[in-house]
Amino acid sequence: MDLDSFINGHPTSAPGDARLVCVSPIDGVTVVGSVASASAEQVRAAIAAASSALPAWAEVPVRARVEQVQTAIAEVLAVGAQSGQLIAAEMGKPAGEADGEFAFAERYARFCGDQAEAICAEHWTEDEEGTLLRVAEPMGVIAAITPWNAPVILAALKVIPALMTGNTMVLKPSPLAPLAVTSFLSDVAARLPAGVLNLVNGGPEAGDALVSDPRVDMISFTGGPATARAIGAAAARSIRPTVMELGGNDAAIILEDAEWGEELAERIIFGAFLTSGQVCMAIKRVYVPRSHHDAFVNELVQAAQRVLRVGDPREEGVTMGPVISADARERLERLVDSSARAGGTVIEIGSIDDALPTGGHWMRPRLVTGLDDDHELVRDEQFGPVLPILAYDTVDEAIERANSVEHGLASSVWSKDADRARDVARRLRVGFTFINCANRAGVSLRAPMGGRGLSGHGREFGDLGLSEYVQNHSINYPRAAHPGSRMAANRYPVLAVPPRRR
């Protein structure tokens, strides 16, 4: 599969046919496909196309915009060319899990349709001061940069709300997994007016050209803190808003009164090891009452044996594929070695298929016990299938330790007492807390998600996820001037009759 950029309604090859090659993490050698590596000039052309398309697209009635986006997505999916097998091959996610990415896009488009109409509606207020009209207007041209770990989902979270609220967009996917998202969204873009949605692939040169262009009105980024700092610096030069989701070091706090047993253990395993642990909202640390620690570790080992099978992600029944790259695997193995040297106990869990390709980026999942909180496996986001289990003596202590890291994306609290779980959740410095679940199993389209601290700012999902892409415009019709004002002294004319609503 060889794909081009999609600019101003047309596939566009790169100068000299420069291409980014996507090699599968399953064996480290198979070329899954390639994408055109856009030049800085082509990125600027995509921005120009988005800028030219903006006035007309913003004037389309919101219901019509919603229907155009929903119809485009539905038509592309109806063709049946989109498959989780491609995502599995390019980034290692099990195909059954990856199939859900396309279904998510259609479901999220339905949700955003209703929200967009409410957010973009005119809001009128009439009182003794006069009449006030508040309108939500598009931010403008949006630059979006997305990661590899959920390529279609994380692009849909930006594209759908931005377009439905009247913006245009230039999207740059991750070069590590560009194929499925470029294929899918290029087909969607082809069904929309030219320039409304543009896709460019490339490395740092393309990214720099995208975020530094003054015609970009807002930047939406999901990725790591280092890139976020560079984007923030570029945005600050012209004081443009950003939305940034930068990962998390998400703590699970299991309370004494949790429903201990097989189901709890399996939920923790799925919450931690979905997509090989390469999910921003995955469980990264588990805090367990000391009295339950040893027994629960045994429960986790048994649960992993039942539900964790490492293998070729294209095969049925596999629940964990390879990690994304050789560098990622080496970094994670160094963390495991460091944990053992620091006195931790490393426990291999789950099963791994025989005869897997030797060049693949395979990792046996592990639990690690006995670490101090200052160890890097606990302190930093590991983003992989290695999970520290930590004993605590009091709930206050567990909360303090959970809050001791720089990230603040998500957390989970596990208890049979809903009120107690809420009280603990309210004390956690994060943007989202799951109760008795974690990771994607607990995501709700209506619930805004975003972080604090090193996890970024802004929200996706829910009504706030759409509100990020609009700006308020207040139009005031005063009934009379305030006494003593220059307006009153000059008998400046005011409206005697309120304006007519559209």
- Which residues are known catalytic residues? 245
| Strand order across the 386-392 sheet | 345-348, 366-369, 386-392, 283-289, 250-254, 410-414, 432-435
Residues 6+ away with beta carbon under 8 Å from 305? 349, 350, 351
| Strand order across the 141-145 sheet | 10-12, 5-7, 197-199, 168-172, 141-145, 218-222, 242-245, 456-457
Residue 55 has a CB neighbour count (10 Å cut-off) of 10
Residue 156 and residue 164 in contact, taking contact as beta carbons nearer than 8 Å: no
At 163, give phi and psi (nearest 5°). Answer: -70, -40
Q: What are all long-range contacts of 430-434, with beta carbons under 8 Å and residues at least 24 apart?
A: 430/248, 430/250, 430/455, 431/455, 431/459, 432/281, 434/410
DSSP codes, 301-322: HHHHHHH-EES-TTSTT--B--
- Judged by phi (left if over 0) then psi (alpha if -120 to 50, else beta), residue 453 lies in left
What is the C-alpha separation between 49 and 168, in angstroms, rounded?
9
At 288, give phi and psi (nearest 5°). Answer: -125, 140
Residue 189 and residue 25 in contact, taking contact as beta carbons nearer than 8 Å: no
Q: Which residue type is seen at 158?
A: K
- Judged by phi (left if over 0) then psi (alpha if -120 to 50, else beta), residue 216 lies in beta
Instruction: Could you list the beta-strand ranges (E) of 39-154.
Output: 123-127, 130-138, 141-145
Residues in a beta bridge with 37: 201
Q: Residue 294 corresponds to which tokens in the numbers above?
A: 């040893």
Residue 86's Cβ-side half-sphere holds a number of Cα atoms within 13 Å equal to 21
Q: Residue 6 corresponds to which tokens in the numbers above?
A: 């999609």
Residue indicated by tokens 């299991």: 254
